[in-house]
Amino acid sequence: MSLSRDEWFAALTFGVLLDADHLFALPRYVGDNGWAAVLNQSWDDGSGNTWKSLLHLPVGAFVVAPLSVGWRLLLPLSFWSVHVGLDYLQLELAEYNTAVETAILLGSVAGITLIGYRRWAELEEDPNFEKYVSHLRASGPSSMSRWARSIFSRSDST
């Protein structure tokens, strides 16, 4: 993705940092149920108190949509929609959570690895997976720092 710093901020805020609201409910939840309960599949402690803000519900569109219009960016609405959709999927599949989450994680890692390997193999004369792993070990730290620099030092294109 070729995003400006402002676009990265909006994407991370509405796609990832939206979950910061769980930190506000954590002390009450741990006080009522203990630290071991944090690892349970569901944080429903039966108290009736919600541990998610309204931004995790479809009604949150009434907050996010005007921000998207005001900022003239579709990113907040897009990333918020994906986040809410994944929350809904997680709730619907709660009884199968571990297996489904594991399958999604393994599929994502396999897909990313396959895409990276294919891109690397196009540049190599005699590609094989062992050479690719060696290449990743040698270039991993420098690639990550290059990626981070490109995100955080990019000038605004708007």
- Tell me what pLDDT residue 41 has: 57
The whole-angstrom separation of Cα 10 and Cα 149 is 18
For residue 94, give the nearest of 43, 25, 38, 51 by alpha carbon: 43
The CA distance from 61 to 79, in Å, is 12
Q: Provide the pLDDT for residue 88.
A: 83
Give me the pLDDT at residue 156, please.
47
Q: How far apart are CA 149 and CA 142, in angstroms?
A: 10
Report helix, strand or coil for 9.
Answer: helix
Q: Which residue has the tokens 């402002």?
A: 6
Q: Find the DSSP H helices in 55-128.
A: 61-71, 75-92, 97-121
How far apart are alpha carbons 44 and 66 in whole angstroms?
31
Q: How much is the pLDDT for 45?
A: 55
pLDDT number for residue 158: 45
With H, G, I as helix, E, B as strand and everything else as coil, classify residue 38: helix
| Cβ 47 vs Cβ 20: under 8 Å | no
Residue tagged 């630290």 (tokens)? 35
* pLDDT tens track, the chain, 158 positions: 677 888 888 888 888 888 887 777 778 777 877 787 776 656 565 655 556 677 888 888 998 899 888 888 888 888 899 888 888 887 777 667 667 777 888 999 899 889 989 998 998 888 888 888 888 888 766 666 666 666 666 544 44
